[in-house]
């Protein structure tokens, strides 16, 4: 069925309810099979199969458009939008991305990966269409997690003030819904959303008023029913106060209910929020029981639910353990995160010190300013965050942390290439944008031993500190190598120290003596390192960051033309998805690639 619908989307509208339910099961199995091999976001995708089918059934896509908040739940949409044959390539190099991608298909509207953006972008899209007199409805699908994000509420507030026609689907997989309450809510929602009751208000009032002797009373009763029903059984009053028509909650796995309600509300000419209840991991027992484990998973065994190849201790896991030790000894230590407890190795901290652990939800800006308040009160604050999400907090870092000179410590995980999640999740810009701000320090540990040393010493720091490290494991220990007669030094920054060391060994075997110096601090640059730099004729900097404004730029600024500097890093572009090792090799950051670039420069110099 999937292949046929992918080629002829229109036949979906001809399926019976039973056929749609069978189709949903087929899609679920394909998603489970594919993610078990490639890894990916399983729990969220299994939770929106029926919703996605219903949206594609009721609406005409295109010209109607769906914007997926975050976008990680778009696998069913991709299958329905012509990508069935390519689905086995999901999240692989040059394959389908795990997020919406307009380059793959025009039915993916925005390239997304961060939460909270859908309502604002959908509102802008709708207003733009109206200006251009283009037809097509706009639907934004948001999760309950997005409701912790301030940008979502900014968008909702603005949309309500405009009163523009827009449909928002709130996919709520945190709330339970009992059979009785669910049935009542469905029937009342079906009543309230019926086309008769949702005719333009003036037209509706005129029809009702014409009923002899009781028109006014019926009109009053209808309005009262809608209002009281919502107060009685739904959490929608808040949205109504923002200026949105609220309907639900309804069962997000009941295709008949979804089709009924979506059909009823599709012609309402006001902003509408439909609240649906779904179950993460729906249809796969292990994902239903352990939805967090299968939120973003690597390959796994379908029969047992065991994740494959996760025994290696990551830098983030070690950082979490170090925080636990610090908290044991110091009652002022607190840890903060923005909805990434598990990915950042903080599960142990959360269990041992629940009163000193704060998961603020997908609210990175709030997290940073909250950290400022804690630090001002005298607590020792550690904020654990992915590099890509740190980008969302530039103003809070400037205004609330650096300007106040507060000694908050940031544990910046996933710095560098993260692999299969692609351009929205690579952490390639933190060195560059952090270097622009005064009153902070940037550390780039190059080994597990070095990471521990830096975190422990951060307890005594009086400046904001940013400690960046990659997704995986760092080498246990790295030492500098100073080779006699060497006129060139490779400065290996953080995660690139290991590969820089190997590159220097490659060059040594080819008769090119090159010294190697690991770098664990970028701002301010280490005084001892600067003195060593002056001993060499040429300097090579290697970093897992964009070349623009990164570590190499810092060295170049220091030397101010006094020496030749070769900067090796990632290009000024967005890096695609793929295994980290593969992408490092492609962009010349493997040991062989680093050695090759150095030889090219040396060869060019010898020809001058």
**Per residue in 54-66, pLDDT tens?**
999 999 989 999 9
Counted residue by residue, the chain has a size of 608
CA distance 170 to 238: 14
Instruction: Count Cβ atoms below 10 Å from residue 474 Cβ, excluding itself.
Output: 22
Kindly state whether residues 494 and 564 are assigned to the same domain: yes
DSSP for 564-591, please give it: EEEEEEE-SS----S-HHHHHHHTT-SH
Element (H, E) at 163: none
Residue range 94-117: average pLDDT? 91
* Tokens read off for 550: 């990164």
pLDDT band at 485 (very low <50, low <70, confident <90, very high): confident
Note whether residue 302 is domain-resident: no
CA distance 463 to 440: 6
Note whether residue 479 is domain-resident: no
Kindly state whether residues 247 and 153 are assigned to the same domain: yes
DSSP for 366-404, please give it: HHHHHHHHHHHHT-EEEEEEEHHHHGGGHHHIIIIIITT
CA distance 566 to 569: 10
We report the CATH number of the domain holding residue 433 as 3.40.50.970
Q: What is the pLDDT of residues 35-55, one digit of tens each?
A: 999 999 999 999 999 999 999
DSSP 89: G
Kindly state whether residues 57 and 97 are assigned to the same domain: yes
Contact 291, 43 (CB under 8 A): yes
**β pairing state of 441-443 and 521-523:** antiparallel
CA distance 536 to 563: 8
Note whether residue 185 is domain-resident: yes
230 catalytically annotated = no
CA distance 50 to 31: 13
User: 385: which strand partners?
Assistant: 412
| CA 6 to each of CA 87, 221, 578: distance values in angstroms, whole numbers, following the listed order | 11, 47, 25
pLDDT of residue 175: 47
CA distance 170 to 173: 9
Note whether residue 297 is domain-resident: no
What integer best gives the mean pLDDT of the chain?
A: 88
Kindly state whether residues 48 and 115 are assigned to the same domain: yes
Note whether residue 68 is domain-resident: yes
pLDDT of residue 188: 47
Kindly state whether residues 358 and 438 are assigned to the same domain: yes
Contact 28, 282 (CB under 8 A): yes
Kindly state whether residues 197 and 225 are assigned to the same domain: yes
Sequence-distant (≥ 6) Cβ neighbours of residue 528 within 8 angstroms: none
Q: Report pTM.
A: 0.87
CA distance 356 to 353: 5
Alpha helices in 107-214 (DSSP H): 118-131, 150-162, 179-192, 201-209
Starting at the edge strand found earlier in the chain, the sheet holding 380-386 runs: 357-359, 333-337, 380-386, 409-413, 465-468, 441-443, 521-523
CA distance 410 to 346: 14
Q: Which of 28, 280, 380, 471 is catalytic?
A: 280
Kindly state whether residues 256 and 373 are assigned to the same domain: no
**31 Rama sector, left if φ>0, alpha if ψ -120 to 50, beta otherwise:** alpha
Instruction: Count Cβ atoms below 10 Å from residue 324 Cβ, excluding itself.
Output: 18
Chain centroid, CA 92 distance in Å: 18
Sequence-distant (≥ 6) Cβ neighbours of residue 259 within 8 angstroms: 17, 54, 57, 58
Which residue did the predictor score with more confidence, 115 or 217? 115
Chain centroid, CA 112 distance in Å: 8
Which residue did the predictor score with more confidence, 568 or 222? 568
Instruction: Count Cβ atoms below 10 Å from residue 24 Cβ, excluding itself.
Output: 20
CA distance 446 to 495: 5
User: 139: which strand partners?
Assistant: 66, 167
Contact 445, 494 (CB under 8 A): yes
pLDDT at 1 over 90: no
CA 429-474-412 angle, to 5 degrees, is 35
Q: Give percent of the chain above pLDDT 70.
A: 88
We report the CATH number of the domain holding residue 527 as 3.40.50.920
Maximum distance among all Cα pairs of the chain, rounded to whole angstroms: 106
Kindly state whether residues 10 and 91 are assigned to the same domain: yes
Kindly state whether residues 28 and 132 are assigned to the same domain: yes
Indicate the burial class of 82 (C-beta count within 10 angstroms; 0-12, 13-18, 19 or more): middle
Instruction: Count Cβ atoms below 10 Å from residue 117 Cβ, excluding itself.
Output: 23
Q: Which of 65, 230, 356, 392 is catalytic?
A: 392
pLDDT band at 601 (very low <50, low <70, confident <90, very high): confident
pLDDT of residue 248: 84
Sequence-distant (≥ 6) Cβ neighbours of residue 405 within 8 angstroms: 439, 462, 463, 464
Residue 186, classed as helix, strand or coil, is helix
Kindly state whether residues 320 and 436 are assigned to the same domain: yes
Note whether residue 295 is domain-resident: no
Domain count along the chain: 3
pLDDT of residue 211: 53
pLDDT of residue 233: 47
Alpha helices in 337-487 (DSSP H): 347-352, 364-377, 387-390, 394-396, 430-435, 448-458
280 catalytically annotated = yes
Residue 345, classed as helix, strand or coil, is coil
Last residue of a domain, one of 287, 304, 329: 287
* Tokens read off for 505: 């060994």
* Tokens read off for 84: 């069935």
Q: Which of 104, 341, 364, 544 is catalytic?
A: 364
Cis peptide before 62 (omega within 30 of 0): yes
Q: What is the pLDDT of residues 492-537, one digit of tens each?
A: 999 999 999 999 999 999 999 999 999 999 999 999 999 999 999 9
DSSP 515: E
pLDDT of residue 200: 52
Note whether residue 430 is domain-resident: yes
Q: What is the pLDDT of residues 213-270, one digit of tens each?
A: 555 665 565 655 555 555 444 467 788 888 899 998 889 999 999 999 999 999 899 9
Kindly state whether residues 370 and 235 are assigned to the same domain: no
Last residue of a domain, one of 248, 269, 287: 287
Q: What is the pLDDT of residues 153-191, one digit of tens each?
A: 999 999 999 989 999 999 988 644 344 444 544 544 554
Q: What is the pLDDT of residues 333-365, one digit of tens each?
A: 999 999 888 889 999 999 999 999 999 988 999
- Residue 258 belongs to what domain range? 2-287
**Cβ density class 262-300: b for 16+ within 10 Å, e for less:** bbbbbebebbbbbbbbbbbbbbbebbbebbebbbbbeeb
392 catalytically annotated = yes
Note whether residue 16 is domain-resident: yes
Kindly state whether residues 455 and 547 are assigned to the same domain: no
**β pairing state of 245-251 and 271-277:** parallel
Residue 459, classed as helix, strand or coil, is coil
Last residue of a domain, one of 468, 496, 516: 468
């Amino acid at each position: 069925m999937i292949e046929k619908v992918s080629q002829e989307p229109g036949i979906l509208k001809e399926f019976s309810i039973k056929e749609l339910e069978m189709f949903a099961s087929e899609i679920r199995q394909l998603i489970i099979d594919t993610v078990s091999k490639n890894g990916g976001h399983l729990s969220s995708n299994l939770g929106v199969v029926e919703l996605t089918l219903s949206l594609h059934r009721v609406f005409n896509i295109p010209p109607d458009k769906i914007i997926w908040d975050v976008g990680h739940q778009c696998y069913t949409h991709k299958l329905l939008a012509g990508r069935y044959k390519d689905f086995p390539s999901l999240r692989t190099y040059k394959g389908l991305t795990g997020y919406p991608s307009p380059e793959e298909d025009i039915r993916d509207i925005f390239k997304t990966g961060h939460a909270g953006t859908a309502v604002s972008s959908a509102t802008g899209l709708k207003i733009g269409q109206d200006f251009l007199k283009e037809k097509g409805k706009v639907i934004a699908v948001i999760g309950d997690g997005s409701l912790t994000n301030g940008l979502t509420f900014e968008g909702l507030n603005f949309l309500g003030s405009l009163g523009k026609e827009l449909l928002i689907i709130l996919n709520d997989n945190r709330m339970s819904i009992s059979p009785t309450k669910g049935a009542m809510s469905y029937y009342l929602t079906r009543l309230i959303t019926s086309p008769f009751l949702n005719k333009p208000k003036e037209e509706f009032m005129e029809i009702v008023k014409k009923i002899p002797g009781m028109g006014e009373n019926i009109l009053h009763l209808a309005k009262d029913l809608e209002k009281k029903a919502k107060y009685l059984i739904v959490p929608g009053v808040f949205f109504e106060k923002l200026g949105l028509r609220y309907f639900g909650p309804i069962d997000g796995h009941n295709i008949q209910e979804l089709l009924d309600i979506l059909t009823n509300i599709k012609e309402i000419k006001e902003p509408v929020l439909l609240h649906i209840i779904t179950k993460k991991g729906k249809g796969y027992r292990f994902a239903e029981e352990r939805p967090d484990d299968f939120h973003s998973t690597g390959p796994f065994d379908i029969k047992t639910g065991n994740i494959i190849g996760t025994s290696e201790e990551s830098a983030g896991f070690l950082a979490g353990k170090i925080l636990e030790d610090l908290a044991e000894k110091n009652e002022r230590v607190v840890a903060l995160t923005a909805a990434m407890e598990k990915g950042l190795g903080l599960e142990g901290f959360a269990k041992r010190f629940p009163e000193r652990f704060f998961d603020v939800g997908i609210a990175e800006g709030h997290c940073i300013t909250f950290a400022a308040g804690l630090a001002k009160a005298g607590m020792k604050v550690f904020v654990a965050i992915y590099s890509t999400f740190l980008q969302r907090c530039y103003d809070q870092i400037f205004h609330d942390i650096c300007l106040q000179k507060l000694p908050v410590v940031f544990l910046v995980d996933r710095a560098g290439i993260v692999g299969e999640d692609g351009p929205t999740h690579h952490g390639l810009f933190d060195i560059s944008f952090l270097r622009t701000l005064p009153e902070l320090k940037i550390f780039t540990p190059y080994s597990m031993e070095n990471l521990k040393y830096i975190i422990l010493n951060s307890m005594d720091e009086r400046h904001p500190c940013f400690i960046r490290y990659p997704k995986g494991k760092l080498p246990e220990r790295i030492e500098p190598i100073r080779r006699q007669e060497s006129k060139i030094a490779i400065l290996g920054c953080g995660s690139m120290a290991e590969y820089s060391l190997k590159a220097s060994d490659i060059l040594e075997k080819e008769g090119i003596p090159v010294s190697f110096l690991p770098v664990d601090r970028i701002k301010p640059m280490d005084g001892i390192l600067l003195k060593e730099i002056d001993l060499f004729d040429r300097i090579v900097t290697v970093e897992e960051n964009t070349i623009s404004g990164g570590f190499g730029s810092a060295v170049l600024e220091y030397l101010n033309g006094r020496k030749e500097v070769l900067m090796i890093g990632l290009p000024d572009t967005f890096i695609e998805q793929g295994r980290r090792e593969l992408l490092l090799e492609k962009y010349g950051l493997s040991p062989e690639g680093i050695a090759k670039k150095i030889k090219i420069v040396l060869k060019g110099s010898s020809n001058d």
